[in-house]
């Protein structure tokens, strides 16, 4: 379960994928399978969520990791590099960006 707070050393990664309505569900399925079979089993993984806009032209992925190095190790693994080549085929672009939580509300 994500825990969003400013007093943590966790790494937040938000990745946006630009897709078409014709590839949105295919990419969502591929990402879901990647999380279930591989990403969620990696050291340092805490939680993630996939979000789709109503026009099905963007997918946003929010994930939390124990440390920046854990996320980077997963991303650099042979398996994830191969998966990212597949992901790249289904979207116009994607960009993972690491963030620190600056403020929370609610």
Long-range contacts of 44-52 (CB under 8 A, 24+ apart): 44/69, 44/70, 44/71, 44/73, 44/74, 45/70, 45/74, 46/2, 46/3, 46/10, 47/1, 47/2, 47/3, 48/2, 49/2, 52/24, 52/28
Q: 5 in a domain, yes or no?
A: no
For residue 96, the model assigns a pLDDT of 92
Nearest residue to 93 via CA among 16, 14, 13: 16
For residue 103, the model assigns a pLDDT of 92
For residue 106, the model assigns a pLDDT of 82
Position 46 pLDDT exceeds 90: yes
Structural domain count of the chain:
1
Q: What is the CATH number of the domain that holds 74?
A: 3.30.70.100
Average of pLDDT values for 12-21? 97
H or E element that contains 85: helix 78-90
pLDDT tier for residue 1 given thresholds of 50, 70 and 90: confident
> Torsion angle of alpha carbons 20, 60, 95, 88, nearest 10°?
-40
For residue 6, the model assigns a pLDDT of 86
Q: 25 in a domain, yes or no?
A: yes
Average of pLDDT values for 46-58? 98
Domain extent at residue 16: 11-99
Q: 29 in a domain, yes or no?
A: yes
Q: 6 in a domain, yes or no?
A: no
Q: 4 in a domain, yes or no?
A: no
Q: Considering the chain, what percentage of its residues have pLDDT values greater than 70?
A: 100
3-state SS class at 80: helix
For residue 4, the model assigns a pLDDT of 81
Q: 2 in a domain, yes or no?
A: no
For residue 77, the model assigns a pLDDT of 98
CB atoms within 10 A of CB 8: 14
């Amino acid at each position: 379960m994500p825990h969003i707070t400013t007093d943590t050393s966790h790494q937040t990664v938000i990745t946006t994928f630009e897709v078409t309505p014709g590839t949105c569900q295919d990419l969502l399925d591929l990402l879901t399978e990647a999380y279930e079979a591989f990403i969620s089993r990696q050291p340092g993984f805490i939680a993630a969520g996939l979000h789709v806009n109503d026009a099905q032209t963007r997918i946003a992925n929010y994930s939390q990791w124990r440390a920046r190095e854990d996320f980077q190790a997963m991303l650099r693994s042979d398996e994830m590099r191969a998966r990212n080549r597949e992901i790249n085929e289904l979207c116009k672009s994607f960009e993972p960006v690491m963030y620190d939580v600056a403020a929370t509300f609610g």
